[in-house]
Structure 1
Amino acid sequence: MIPLPLARIAEITSGALSGSADPRAVVRGPVVIDSRAVEPGSLFVAIKGARADGHDFAAQAVKAGAVAVLGTRPTEAPTVIVPDVLGALADLATAVAGTLTGTTVIGVTGSAGKTTTKDLLAGLTGRVGPTVAPVGSQNNEIGHPLTVLKADADTRFLVLEFGARDAGHIADLTRIARPSIGMVLNVGTAHLGVFGGKEAIAKAKGELVESLPSDGVAILNADDPLVSEMATRTSARVTFFGRSPAAHVRAEDVRLDERGRAAFTLRTPSGSAPVSLLLYGEHAVSNALAAAAAAYELGLPVATIAAELSAAEPRSRWRMEVADRPDGVTVINDAYNANPDSMRAAFASLAVLGQGRRRFAVIAALRELGEESAALNHDLGRLAGSAGLDGLVVAGPDAEPVLSGAMEAGPPGARIVHVADAEAAAAELAGWLRPGDTVLVKGPRAMELQRAAELLLAGGARQ
């Protein structure tokens, strides 16, 4: 973070310093919302949530080294008191971003693959200069400004995720740190119930390209019509990625190894090079191409792009993590989140990884699908039932459509059970698995199915 005295922070946020706050005390970062993450020089942002009030941890934060607290009321610690903490956090990040004259801001959005693409791109830009990118999926009104505030005068690239829970959210985030390169990966069915349809999702995602300056670049998926049409919504230059022959940056001769990892020829206007991904699943090709297109626009040689993509390993947890137990059971932990599109991609990966082996899956009913929830969850059940599984565990509430779809599509007598939670799912599967089996674990974030994957792996370690 760029060092700022408390007096300047109060000015930026329209705040007032509590009596114990020294206006000359300097915050050097990081800015954090968790008192356990405080380091000497931090600013602790006190957010009042449903289960905890950050103001109650103010003294603890300052004891750990925080210079002050940003909050809505006085605390036991030096405090910058503001009317709205999230608004103040956005104002602070906007002010800091405005000083980053030597930093290229790159934005990534899409219904699926944002985090993987962001991680790949951060690896590529890191070869050129200091890069700041969010950890995991910090892409909302809290995580986004916190990431921006990590940047300083030495930051060459700021790679940001842009998430949306409603129309206007991405536009609001772009006003904090305006991207000069904006990437739209796809328009899928994530949050379908919130937006009401894929066209509305496309409108929201397109807010990113609408924010680009005329001398910027829009990186768009040539294989997704709802994304490629966004070329008409920006005055920036457009570069297409994908498998289409019309794409400027494309993949040719895509093939998968026995572990479901893709290899392909990366072709750009300046040449081509071979890529062999360490990431699992054919869907990773599109993410790699998007990152490659941005890197191409930044002037990286195609050989360098290919080498970085080929060396990249997963940086963010619970996204197609593949691990083998000592007894040969393979656990695919893709439990960070789920929607109909990512479910199809996950089962496609299971088909490759589980070829010639017994296959099992732990899934849960999808959420935020609105009026189409029952139908889409029934389709999920049919997808699972027709996937050649030797057993299916459906965890959590609202499972009836998934179960009925699975029983409808599965063979007679298929082993399909419903359990309450991740722990019960792991316990059920523990009695089914034999050495050499393959298990997919995937569901919505709220179900925390990563616990099932972790328990299954730990169980194998005790054998």
Structure 2
Amino acid sequence: MRERTIREVAALAGAAPIDSDRPAGPDVVIDSRLATPGAVFVALPGEHVDGHDYLAAAAERGAVAAVCTRATDAPLAHLLVDDAERGLSDLARGVVAQAAASGLVCLAITGSSGKTSTKDLLGQVLAAAGPTVSPEGSFNNEIGVPLTALRIGEDTRYLVSEMGARGDGHIAWLCGIVPPRIGVVLNVGHAHLGEFGSVAGIARAKGELVEALPADGWAVLNADDPLVLGMASRTVARLATFSLAGEPATGELRVWAADSAPDDLQRYAFTLRAAGAVEASVPVRLQGSGRHQVANALAAATAGLAAGLPAALIAEALSGATARSRWRMQLSPRQDGVLIVNDSYNANPDSMRAALTTVAAMRRPGGRLIAVLGDMLELGPDAADEHRRLGELAAGLGFEVVALGEFADDIAAGARAASGTVQVVADRAAAVAVAGADLQPSDVVVVKASRGLALDVVADALASGAQHEAGRTA
């Protein structure tokens, strides 16, 4: 945020009035180790630690104020609120409202998969047109969204918010903090199915984004997903649609990919086409692997067009865009020729299918395909069946499977049903040992599971060729 007086910060955060003209900002942090001179520290309660215990440490690093629920002896201004998390949200809401009144354009993205990759692409597209703030990593919850919003400065032109949901009302709450003018819905899949109970419940929650849009805003919807396209009736905003299958049938702005074709690493080139509110036909060549990245690029392009950016500028930015978040289809070619694909950040049935299909198409003459697969979390009562289907899919695509985690036996059962080769291992160190044994220069290994399994350790060890590296942290 731009620098303000402590008095102004207290008012925005809903804190008890405090009479101080001392400057505060620009940084707002929840980790005392990240405090900088002038910073505002928010003392959040935690499961194992209490932020109030770190007010003195934040002050030592230069913080001048803290949003907190009780007074301490720390030498900084105490901005007292009833709830520190709500104080963080209120501060962000106030800062965004002031910036929006001066021309800030807020864009938000949601979906069951692809949110982070799409916001990375969109952030780079918008940055080509003006100063842009977008989330670092997957800052998509009630803490990450306001923290991202509080990074905007005096000259910020665009703010991108990634919005996740674990229940009804979550996205509506986030939109109350950062009211979007352009909202992008990517897809409705099976991520967090255990929490929502049904795909229809997921669609209901994701659609809260388009319900929050103003009449002069834009709802950017994936025309290839019927549940997403069905959200058009839930918004008063203008409708923009995108599709991998050709020109969408509906939408004031319609965007699609023509003549798409991959290289040997499944990096796609295509012609970005637009019709309706904008007419365009420009070439794009993506740096990321997988046909699903074309869909992500179309979503980012449609949002960019809705924001008024020229198609040529969007195409150039997409063609130069690189991965900004780790462990998402991260390609690591080894010196011996083996290719390791680290897609270990997270997993659900839809993203597993996309990753395995993409990597299967990278198969090289004479080489093997090896998949190190772990649990997909939060799938609810369908979890065992989904993992069996995963094993069957992997084997059917020609992968030798190394399975670990609570559902490893289910993955293995599916792979064996498809006449595949599979080994169940006890931990990450064993996964490295098995997957890394006798690798040949033409082999391709993909590593994927939900974040809770921390299989980035496995991917890093395989990429370095150190088969026993994971043993120290498994």
User: Considering the TM-score relative to the shorter chain, is it more than 0.5?
Assistant: yes
Secondary structure at the counterpart of residue 204 of structure 1: helix
Distance 1:222 1:445 in 2: 29
Equivalent position amino acid for 1:92 in 2: L
Distance 1:445 1:366 in 2: 9
The answer for unaligned runs of 5 or more in structure 1 is: none
Q: 1:331 aligns with which of 330, 336, 340?
A: 340
Distance 1:377 1:24 in 2: 59
TM-aligned CA deviation for residue 5 of structure 1: 2.3
Could you tell me which residue of structure 2 aligns to residue 236 of structure 1? 237
Matched, 1:438 2:444: yes
Greater alpha carbon shift after TM alignment, 427-436 vs 173-182 = 427-436
Could you tell me which residue of structure 1 aligns to residue 297 of structure 2? 288
Distance 2:346 2:208 in 1: 23
Matched, 1:80 2:79: yes
Greater alpha carbon shift after TM alignment, 334-343 vs 192-201 = 192-201
Secondary structure at the counterpart of residue 141 of structure 1: coil
Could you tell me which residue of structure 1 aligns to residue 251 of structure 2? none
Could you tell me which residue of structure 2 aligns to residue 245 of structure 1? 246
Matched, 1:416 2:423: yes
Distance 1:379 1:292 in 2: 33
User: TM (normalized to structure 1)?
Assistant: 0.94
Distance 2:434 2:54 in 1: 40
Distance 1:353 1:245 in 2: 25
Matches within 5 A, 1:323-362: 323-356=332-365, 357-362=367-372
Distance 1:245 1:258 in 2: 24
Greater alpha carbon shift after TM alignment, 217-226 vs 68-77 = 68-77
User: TM (normalized to structure 2)?
Assistant: 0.92
Secondary structure at the counterpart of residue 98 of structure 1: helix
Secondary structure at the counterpart of residue 455 of structure 1: helix
Could you tell me which residue of structure 2 aligns to residue 378 of structure 1? 388
Distance 2:153 2:206 in 1: 28
Equivalent position amino acid for 1:209 in 2: V
Secondary structure at the counterpart of residue 98 of structure 2: coil
Could you tell me which residue of structure 2 aligns to residue 276 of structure 1? 285
Distance 2:150 2:464 in 1: 38
TM-aligned CA deviation for residue 320 of structure 1: 0.7
TM-aligned CA deviation for residue 32 of structure 1: 1.2
Could you tell me which residue of structure 2 aligns to residue 54 of structure 1? 51
Post-superposition Cα deviations, 1:270-311, rounded to whole Å, max 9, x if no partner, equal: 120111111111110000001111111222222222111111
Post-superposition Cα deviations, 1:350-387, rounded to whole Å, max 9, x if no partner, equal: 11122432111111121111121111111112112222
Q: 1:364 aligns with which of 352, 374, 379?
A: 374
Q: Is the 8 A contact 1:6 1:25 kept in 2?
A: yes
Secondary structure at the counterpart of residue 343 of structure 1: helix
Could you tell me which residue of structure 2 aligns to residue 2 of structure 1? 2
Matches within 5 A, 1:17-416: 23-77=20-74, 78=76, 79-100=78-99, 101=101, 102-247=103-248, 248-269=254-275, 270-356=279-365, 357-389=367-399, 391-411=400-420, 414-416=421-423
Q: Is the 8 A contact 2:415 2:422 kept in 1?
A: no
Post-superposition Cα deviations, 1:384-406, rounded to whole Å, max 9, x if no partner, equal: 222212x3221222323222212
Distance 1:426 1:24 in 2: 57
Secondary structure at the counterpart of residue 175 of structure 1: helix
Equivalent position amino acid for 1:459 in 2: G
Distance 1:456 1:33 in 2: 35
Equivalent position amino acid for 2:317 in 1: E
TM-aligned CA deviation for residue 16 of structure 1: 4.2
Runs of 4+, deviation exceeding 4 Å: none
Secondary structure at the counterpart of residue 233 of structure 2: helix
Distance 1:290 1:237 in 2: 15
Post-superposition Cα deviations, 1:92-139, rounded to whole Å, max 9, x if no partner, equal: 111111101210001111111111111111111111111111111101
Change (3 A) 1:344 1:9: same
Q: Is the 8 A contact 1:295 1:305 kept in 2?
A: yes
Could you tell me which residue of structure 1 aligns to residue 471 of structure 2? none
Distance 2:21 2:241 in 1: 49
Aligned sequence identity (%):
47
Distance 1:54 1:224 in 2: 43
What is the count of residue pairs matched by the alignment? 456
Secondary structure at the counterpart of residue 319 of structure 2: helix
Equivalent position amino acid for 1:137 in 2: S
Change (3 A) 1:301 1:105: same
Secondary structure at the counterpart of residue 353 of structure 1: coil
Equivalent position amino acid for 2:67 in 1: L
Secondary structure at the counterpart of residue 99 of structure 1: helix
Post-superposition Cα deviations, 1:174-217, rounded to whole Å, max 9, x if no partner, equal: 01111111110111111111111111111111100000000111
TM-aligned CA deviation for residue 245 of structure 1: 3.4
Distance 1:221 1:386 in 2: 28
Secondary structure at the counterpart of residue 307 of structure 1: helix
